[in-house]
Amino acid sequence: MSAPGSQSPVAPDERPGLGESGNDPLVLLELIQRLKVRDVMTADLVTLPRDASMQQAQELMRQKKISGVPVEEKGRFFGLVSIDDIIRALVAGTIHESCGRHMTTKLVVLEDDMPLSFALRYFDRYHYGRFPVLNRDRRLVGIICQRDINRALLVELTRELQRLESVSVQRGGEGAAGSLYLLREFPICKYDFENAGKAANQIKQVLQEKKFATKVIRRIAVAAYELEINLCVHSDGGVLSWQVSSGRAEVIARDAGPGIEDVEWACRDGTSTANEWIRSLGFGAGMGLVNVRRVSDEFEITSKKGSGTTVKAVIYIEGGVA
């Protein structure tokens, strides 16, 4: 295990001073430089000792809906058990053996006081889903994934967007029939089950704050949730985007692979390519696209095997807000 760079490791939390216009190209860069790993990481960890069995790790991951379990004893970090480790143990018939024998030990770690920019560079360099976070005493204090970073940045940028929307309302520019009312994008990571559904919940909260009709909120939330879970389970990750304009809401899920070979088959009740591990977590029942199509006024899938998939759901908003 090695820590990237000589500075101490990672976190983000504080909000930088934003310019009055909100258009300063340095706003995002300033935010990234000010935040540290400790501000973004997940500190409430679920861990196992080395003598715990891989089966115990599998069950813990299923119960907590997480995709990796750190192995540590008295604060000392030894390795990580991932979904891939569990699958290999199931195939090899070693699921009853200890985590200490089958955990991943060749890991890159971050330190909790590193600037967020360090974490971003290492996600780009290594393409890992998450990094363990250690403090200066080399004790495990957290886990950071791309979703943690995206969420922290999104919160800060959303605050500025809301400020700009408020200014627009005061000037009488928002809410016109042809204008863009709302726009959000949510990066979704593969197998990020601990965060699965959070984007849909944020969308639902915004709609409730804007006082949209309950039945409209329910339909949009269902479409967003099912598409978010599909990105998490069946793709290599992607982006869930959502916008409301001109009397219609659009929820769009885009990913870069692996694509759908038979779209018609994928839209049938109960059809799913999810493996037994995914099903044991309570996902992959084969009703996702079916439910999205059911709540949509317009439904469209564009996919090519090996080239990704785009799913668009459109819900008409009769009368706009309640």
pLDDT at 102: 95
Q: How far apart are CA 243 and CA 203, in angstroms?
A: 10
Inform me whether the pLDDT recorded for 211 exceeds 80: yes
In the prediction, which pLDDT does 30 show? Answer: 61
| Sequence-separated (6 or more) residues with CB below 8 Å from residue 232 | 188, 189, 190, 191, 192, 193, 196, 283
The answer to which of 67-71, 131-135, 235-239, 297-301 has the lowest mean pLDDT is 235-239
Per-residue model confidence (pLDDT) at position 268:
60
What pLDDT is stored for residue 16 in this prediction?
32
Q: What is the pLDDT of residues 218-268, one digit of tens each?
A: 999 999 998 998 888 777 778 888 888 878 899 999 887 777 766 565 566
**Residue that wins the pLDDT comparison between 33 and 104:** 104
Backbone angles phi, psi at 319, to 5 degrees: 80, 5
Taking only the tens place, the pLDDT of each residue in 4-58 is 433 333 233 333 333 333 344 345 666 676 788 998 999 999 999 999 999 999 9
Percent of the chain with pLDDT over 70: 71
Check: CB of residue 296 under 8 Å from CB of residue 267: no
What is the mean pLDDT of the segment spanning 125-142? 89
| Res. 177 pLDDT band, cuts 50 70 90 | very low
- pLDDT given for residue 129 in this prediction: 81
* One-letter identity of residue 259: G
Domain with CATH 3.10.580.10 in the chain: 27-145
Number of H helices, E strands in the chain: 12, 10
Q: Give the pair of three-digit tokens for residue 146.
A: 């791309």
Alpha-carbon gap, residue 243 to 179, rounded angstroms: 11
The CA distance from 21 to 246, in Å, is 26
- CA quadruple 208, 204, 24, 238: dihedral, nearest 10: -170
Q: For 175-316, CATH number?
A: 3.30.565.10
- pLDDT for 164 equals 53
Smallest CA-to-CA distance from 36 within 135, 126, 139 is with 135
CA distance 63 to 68: 12
State the pTM of this model: 0.48
CA angle 231/115/144 to nearest 5° reads 35
Cα–Cα distance, 107 to 210 (Å, whole number): 45
CATH numeric code, 27-145: 3.10.580.10
When comparing pLDDT for 38 and 288, which is higher? 38
- Measured from the Cβ of residue 188, the count of other Cβ atoms closer than 10 Å reads 26
CA angle 179, 182, 187 (to 5 degrees): 135
Boundaries of CATH 3.30.565.10 in the chain?
A: 175-316
Integer Cα distance of 93 and 259 in angstroms: 31
Q: Is the peptide bond before 70 cis (omega within 30 degrees of 0)?
A: no
User: For the chain, what is the mean pLDDT?
Assistant: 77
Q: How far apart are CA 298 and CA 213, in angstroms?
A: 19
